[in-house]
Structure 1
């Protein structure tokens, strides 16, 4: 979506933002936008790593169950 904007479109957006918000508010808006993106990225990474951990758990549990079953057959 953003790859279609190009340099002229980006400059136009920045000029419109400068007119609407003024030069004093733009750094504050930029910081807020940056921190929002950082939090979003962190939350996304946490969700992805949580999914990977959950997907690893059933395999470990099934391996433990299979091992226990094989030991019980050997012991019988």
Structure 2
């Protein structure tokens, strides 16, 4: 299981928000990412950054996945 710093999480989230042109950037914050979800964040970031573009439905799914990264802090 990966362990990320808040700065690393924030950088990944900022990268994805910029690439996706997320209007509601407050959908997730670096301190709300559950430590148990760090591996999921890494995988989602890699997917978003390597894809050249996204359909509306893909963007909706990605934003939903970002929302699912929230959880209890451990």
Structure 1 length as normaliser, TM-score?
Answer: 0.33
**For the pair shown, which has the larger CA radius of gyration, 1 or 2?**
1
Structure 2 length as normaliser, TM-score?
Answer: 0.33
